């Protein structure tokens, strides 16, 4: 079961810079390691993270083998209007997970 923890301030004033924290459970297997029998462990990475604010991309990141397991991404955006923030992680082996959070802007 894939798990993610997303932290968004539930309410903000228009124009405020808000901090968003995300954390997702993922092994981030590099593809360079060998298992106990010496066989190469296949690569299994999150390749891309995207944050959409009411459908518009406000933050995106590419991830590479140097990232640790269970990657945490913290970033900022400007509160412009009430609505939904959608967070999508996509990666190897068809990995795709989306979480959403509501924000109220006054």
- Spatial distance between the Cα atoms of 95 and 63, rounded to a whole number of angstroms: 13
Q: Is 34 a residue that touches other proteins (CB under 8 A)?
A: no
- Spatial distance between the Cα atoms of 18 and 21, rounded to a whole number of angstroms: 10
Looking up tokens 């808000």 gives 18
x/- binding map, residues 64-83, to other proteins, per CB under 8 A?
----xxx-x-x---------
Among 11, 16, 18, 23, binds other proteins (CB under 8 A): 23
Question: Among residue numbers 38 through 67, which ones bind other proteins (CB under 8 A)?
Answer: none
Q: Is 1 a residue that touches other proteins (CB under 8 A)?
A: yes
- Stretch in the footprint of other proteins (CB under 8 A) among 3-11, 31-39, 82-90, 97-105: 3-11
Binders of other proteins: how many residues, by CB under 8 A?
Answer: 16
Q: What is the DSSP string of 36-58?
A: TTSPBPPPB-EEEEEEEETTEEE
Asked if 33 and 40 count as a contact pair (C-beta separation under 8 A), the reply is yes
Say how many residues make up the chain: 106
Residues that bind other proteins (CB under 8 A): 1, 3-5, 7, 21, 23-25, 27-28, 68-70, 72, 74
């Amino acid at each position: 079961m894939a798990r993610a923890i997303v932290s968004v301030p539930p309410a903000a004033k228009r124009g405020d810079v808000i901090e968003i924290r995300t954390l997702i459970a993922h092994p981030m297997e590099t593809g360079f390691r060998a298992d106990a029998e010496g066989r190469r462990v296949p690569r299994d990475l999150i390749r891309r993270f995207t944050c959409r604010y009411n459908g518009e991309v406000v933050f995106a990141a590419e991830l590479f083998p140097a990232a640790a397991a269970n990657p945490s991404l913290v970033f900022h955006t400007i509160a412009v209007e009430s609505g939904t923030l959608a967070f999508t992680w996509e990666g190897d082996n068809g990995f795709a997970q989306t979480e959403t959070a509501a924000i109220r802007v006054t």
